[in-house]
């Protein structure tokens, strides 16, 4: 009878220690830059949800509605992250102070890159992501800044029954294929990779109203996945 009791005590102590460690990690003072599209722009968006989960951290959000990794969405250069990344980084450093640097950069892009208008350019998407990572690294090197840990977050699922078919039809399959390539890009460029597509896919029809944008519950789920990622570091 003693062994089961001892095992139970050990498990309880381990759980308490793990929870305490996670809480300690969540209370760290981190400088975090988030780069995303419209899912990162709402009052209840995932960058906003990170703030109460990481109360001691500074979170600078550079999410823009319609943003892509490397296409001129709607023929607008300002919606092409590749063409604007240096500007994003310069603005971000103004906010945290030039004497500081970023600990983490989370990139959650790729949904708009799968629009039907770009259907014949899907092979460019992962290449653009790789180039984006390289440009970020070069910026920090050129400015003699501490290298942040870059993490690629997979684009969220699409609900094909709710999306605007003319704009996004078939996009969920394109996202899945790109996510596989994004994982390879992350490994090749030695940056982090966080698959949030898989956990969000479960019951996704209840997590979106238009098939593209996450509701508040799903945004919290996404932010929690990011915090769990940080707690493992």
Q: What is the pLDDT of residue 26?
A: 64
Q: What is the mean pLDDT of residues 84-109?
A: 96
Q: What is the pLDDT of residue 5?
A: 54
Question: Which residue matches tokens 């109460």?
Answer: 52
Q: What is the pLDDT of residue 25?
A: 53
| Structure confidence by residue, pLDDT tens digits, 10-69 | 434 333 434 444 444 567 899 999 999 999 999 999 999 999 999 999 999 999 999 999
What is the C-alpha separation between 37 and 65, in angstroms, rounded? 5
Question: For residue 106, what pLDDT band results from cuts at 50, 70 and 90?
Answer: very high
What is the C-alpha separation between 136 and 145, in angstroms, rounded? 11
> How far, in Å, are 56, 149, 180 from residue 30 at the CA level?
7, 11, 29
Backbone angles phi, psi at 4, to 5 degrees: -60, -40
Take residue 139 and report the two structure tokens written for it: 């910026």
Residue among 122, 123, 183 nearest 153 (CA): 183
Q: Which domains does the chain have, with CATH numbers?
A: 29-231 (3.40.50.1110)
| Structure confidence by residue, pLDDT tens digits, 202-231 | 999 999 999 999 999 999 999 999 999 999
| pTM for this prediction | 0.89
Question: For residue 233, what pLDDT band results from cuts at 50, 70 and 90?
Answer: confident
- Asked if the model's pLDDT at residue 1 lies above 50, the reply is no
């Amino acid at each position: 009878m003693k062994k089961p009791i001892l095992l139970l005590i050990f498990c309880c102590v381990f759980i308490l220690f793990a929870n305490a460690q996670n809480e300690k990690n969540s209370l760290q003072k981190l400088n975090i830059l988030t780069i995303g599209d419209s899912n990162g722009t709402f009052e209840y968006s995932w960058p906003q949800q990170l703030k109460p989960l990481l109360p001691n951290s500074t979170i600078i959000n550079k999410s823009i509605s319609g943003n892509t990794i490397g296409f001129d969405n709607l023929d607008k250069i300002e919606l092409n992250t590749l063409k604007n990344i240096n500007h994003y980084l310069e603005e971000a450093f103004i906010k945290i102070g030039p004497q500081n640097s970023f600990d983490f950069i989370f990139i959650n892009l790729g949904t708009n890159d799968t629009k039907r208008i770009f259907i014949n350019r899907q092979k460019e998407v992962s290449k653009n992501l790789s180039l984006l990572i390289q440009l970020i690294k070069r910026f920090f090197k050129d400015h003699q800044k501490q290298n942040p840990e870059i993490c690629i977050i997979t684009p969220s699922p699409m609900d094909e029954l709710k999306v605007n078919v003319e704009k996004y039809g078939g996009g969920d399959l394109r996202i899945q294929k790109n996510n596989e390539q994004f994982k390879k890009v992350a490994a090749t460029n030695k940056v982090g990779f966080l698959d949030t597509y898989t956990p969000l896919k479960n019951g996704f029809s209840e997590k979106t109203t238009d098939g593209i944008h996450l509701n508040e519950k799903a945004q919290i789920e996404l932010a929690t996945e990011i915090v769990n990622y940080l707690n493992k570091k």
